[in-house]
Structure 1
Amino acid sequence: MSSVSDASAARGGRKDPADGKQTGDRTGPLTFYRQVVAELRKVVYPTREQLVTYFFVVLFFVLVMIAIVSLLDLGLGKLAFEVFTGADDI
């Protein structure tokens, strides 16, 4: 059984086999920029049709959530009003 202090994160991280550097070492701005560009080249952008579909799915979901929250707010508001104003027929 290993303890928490035996974890590689606690010992300072692991070494990257490609260059032997610690993975926690800071990278320079040029290396960072190259890595960002490399990652952006991997991105698969949706088609216009997919984008329109996603837009309407999200719009529908947001409208449903607005309706649910509004109804809960209205119902709980009326309940609180009844509780705190009280019925005078007691």
Structure 2
Amino acid sequence: MAKNVVDEPSEDVVANARKERAERRGPFGRFALFIRQVIAELRKVVTPTRRELVNFTLVVLVFVVIMMALVWGIDQIASFLVTFTFGDPNISTP
């Protein structure tokens, strides 16, 4: 049963058609559609070359090292400020 819709934009017509089709599908039909869509998306995946993979890995490792240094520096500053504010707990006062 196709409707003759004149005033709706084409995106709305397509969205409404998909919605009506989805309502008519049972749970197994929806699951099969999901699997087909997953397979279609996996076919679009491009595997990186070895050179790209090495570059991506190096970028991630450098970023992690920089973030570790940043967190270490902030920790050192916070430790100094806490020690300066509250004193050294290892020094006992008589």
Under a length normalisation based on structure 2, what TM-score does the superposition of the two structures give? Answer: 0.65
Q: Which runs of 4+ in 1 moved over 4 A?
A: 23-27
1:3-29 deviations in Å (ceiling 9; x for gaps): xxxxxxxxxxx7562881328868611
What's 1:77 paired with?
Answer: 79
Amino acid at match of 2:45: V
Question: How large is the Cα RMSD of the aligned pairs?
Answer: 2.9
Larger CA Rg, structure 1 vs 2: 2
Identical pairs, percent? 38
1:66 is displaced (CA, Å) by: 0.2
1:43-79 deviations in Å (ceiling 9; x for gaps): 1121111001110111001101100110110111111
- CA gap 1:72/1:18 in 2 versus in 1, 3 angstroms: closer
- Which stretches in structure 1 are left out of the alignment for 5+ residues? 1-13
Under a length normalisation based on structure 1, what TM-score does the superposition of the two structures give? Answer: 0.67
